[in-house]
Structure 1
């Protein structure tokens, strides 16, 4: 397989990875992995609880958002 063919085959997965990271789709999975690695005794919130807390924090501390 040539380098160009390999690049063309990898491009869709790279775009997909970028978009999911940009939109935060993997935030819960990353949070759970961090929690289990660094705080194994802490209870793991459900995905719904995680997103509620995340959005509540964003609303309370908007940071550099425009709206």
Structure 2
């Protein structure tokens, strides 16, 4: 990957994604891509449902990975 070719918009997305991962906020776009690739027959949660579910999983001490 050649970072010198990245547009400012792409760089900003990477910065935001990295910051979210550092503070423990899950990435909805990554979740959607995973669901579409690995579980196409399952419904995809809305952003609000996804965020609520991830926060519940994080603070109840449970995992949450499907695979």
Answer whether TM exceeds 0.5 for this pair.
yes
Match of 1:23 in 2: 20
Structure of larger gyration radius:
1
Q: Distance in 1 between matches of 2:57 and 2:26?
A: 18
1:50 aligned residue: 50
SS of corresponding position for 1:58 = helix
What is the count of residue pairs matched by the alignment?
54
TM norm structure 2? 0.61
| Structure that is richer in helix per residue | 1
Cα deviation, 1:40-61, whole Å, max 9, x if unaligned, reads 0000110000000000011101
Considering only aligned residues, what root-mean-square deviation do their CA atoms show, in Å? 2.9
Could you list the runs of 5+ residues in structure 1 that have no partner in the other structure? Answer: 1-6, 63-67
Name 2:36's counterpart in structure 1. Answer: 36
Structure 1 length-normalised TM:
0.61
SS in 2 for 1:50: helix
Contact preservation (8 Å) 2:35, 2:42: yes
Gaps of 5+ in 2: 63-67
